[in-house]
Amino acid sequence: MKTGKLTRIGAALLLAHAFGAHGQATPAAQAPAMTAPELEIGKKIYFERCAGCHGVLRKGATGKNLEPLWSKKNADGTTQEGGMLRLGTARLEKIIALGTEGGMVNYDDILTKEEINVMARYIQQEPPIPPEFSLKDMEESWKLIVPVAERPKKQMNKLNLKNMFAVTLRDTGELAVIDGDTKQIWQILKTGYAVHISRMSASGRYIYTVGRDGLVTLIDMWFEKPTTVATIRLGSDARSVDVSKFKGFEDKYLIGGGYWPPQYSIMDGDTLKPRKIVSTRGMTVDGEYHPEPRVASIVASQIKPEWVVNIKETGQILLVDYSDIKNLKTTTIESAKFLHDGGFDASKRYFMVAANASNKIAAVDTKTGKLAALIDTKKIPHPGRGANFIHPKYGPVWATGHLGDAVVSLISTASDKPADAKFKQHNWKVVQELAMPGAGNLFVKTHPKSNHLWADMPMNPERENAEVNYVFDIRDLSKPPVRIDVAKDSGLPVTKALRRAVHQEYNEKGDEVWISLWGGKTDQSAIVVYDDKTLKLKKVITDPKMITPTGKFNVWNTQHDVY
Question: Is the confidence at residue 548, as pLDDT, over 70?
Answer: yes
One of 54, 402, 426, 447 is an active-site residue; which one? 54
Neighbouring CB atoms inside 10 A of 151's CB total: 16
pLDDT band (50, 70, 90) for residue 103: low
What is the side-by-side strand order in the sheet with 253-260? 237-243, 253-260, 263-268, 274-279
Active site residue 382: yes
Assess contact for 523 and 495: CB atoms under 8 A.
yes
Pairwise CA distance, residues 334 & 542, whole Å:
45
Strand partners, 299: 308
- Domain presence at residue 53: yes
**Helix, strand, coil distribution of the chain in percent, nearest 5:** 15, 35, 45
Choice among 84, 104, 221, 546 that is catalytic? 104
Task: Summarize the confidence of residues 261-279 as an average pLDDT.
Answer: 98
Alpha helix positions (H), 341-485: 463-466
The answer to the question of residue 88 being in a domain is yes
Q: 3-state DSSP call for residue 133?
A: coil
Q: How far apart are CA 88 and CA 94, in angstroms?
A: 10
For residue 174, tell me if it sits in a domain: no
Say if CB 67 and CB 83 are below 8 A apart: yes
Q: Is residue 80 part of a domain?
A: yes
In angstroms, the CA 445 to CA 439 distance is: 17
Q: Is residue 49 part of a domain?
A: yes
Annotated catalytic residue, options 53, 138, 200, 546: 53
Instruction: Identify the band that residue 28 occupies on the pLDDT scale cut at 50, 70 and 90.
Output: very low
Q: Is 54 a catalytic residue?
A: yes
Exposure of 444 in the CB half-sphere (CA atoms within 13 A): 29
Catalytic residue selected from 196, 290, 340, 503: 340
Helix, strand or coil for residue 340?
Answer: strand
pLDDT digits (tens, 9 = 90+) for 193-215: 999 999 999 999 999 999 999 99
| pLDDT of amino acid 259 | 95
Given 50, 164, 200, 436, which residue is catalytic? 50
- The whole-chain average pLDDT of the chain stands at 90
| pLDDT higher than 90, residue 175 | yes
Per-residue burial over 108-140, b if 16 or more Cβ lie within 10 Å, else e, is bebbeeebbbbbbbbbbbebeebeebeeebbee
| Nearest by Cα to 502 from 168, 8, 200 | 168
**Residue bearing the bigger pLDDT, 13 or 119:** 119
In the annotation, is 221 catalytic?
Answer: no
Instruction: Specify whether the CB–CB gap between 505 and 514 falls below 8 A.
Output: yes
pLDDT for 236 equals 93
pLDDT value at residue 29: 53
Dihedral sign of CA atoms 17, 55, 102, 371 in order: positive
Section 495-499 average pLDDT = 88
Of residues 525 and 101, more confidently modeled: 525
What is residue 493's predicted lDDT score, i.e. its pLDDT?
94
Q: Is 402 a catalytic residue?
A: no
Nearest Cα to 66, choosing from 50, 45, 77?
50
Contact yes or no for 311/279 (Cβ under 8 A) = no
- Mean pLDDT along residues 254-260: 97
What number is the average pLDDT over the span 525-529? Answer: 97
Residue 320, helix vs strand vs coil: strand
Is residue 226 predicted with pLDDT exceeding 90?
A: yes
**Which is more confidently placed, 13 or 125?**
125
Distance CA 556, CA 438 (A): 32
Give pLDDT, residue 27.
41
Q: Indicate whether 368 pLDDT > 90.
A: yes
Report yes or no on 32 lying in a domain. yes
Number of structural domains found in the chain: 1
Q: Is 459 marked active-site? A: no
Which of these is catalytic: 382, 391, 402, 426? 382
**CA dist., res. 91 & res. 200, Å (int):** 45
Q: CA 151: distance to chain centroid?
A: 32
Would you give the DSSP letter of residue 149? Answer: G
> Residue 389: phi, psi to the nearest 5?
-160, 175
pLDDT at 233 over 90: yes
- Report pLDDT digits (tens) over 69-88: 743 344 444 444 433 446 78
Residue 104 lies in a domain: yes
CATH assignment at residue 98:
1.10.760.10
% of the chain residues with pLDDT over 70: 91
Q: At how many degrees (to 10) do helices 113-122 and 36-45 cross?
A: 90
E strands, 95-205, are 143-144, 164-169, 174-179, 185-190, 197-200
The amino acid at 369: G
| Rg (alpha carbons) of the chain, rounded to whole number | 23
pLDDT score of 188 = 98
Q: Is residue 27 part of a domain?
A: yes
Residue 40: domain span: 8-122
pLDDT band for position 102 (cuts 50, 70, 90): low
Other CB atoms within a 10 A radius of the CB of residue 263 amount to: 23
**Residue 50 annotated to the active site:** yes
Cα(5)–Cα(95) distance, integer angstroms: 10
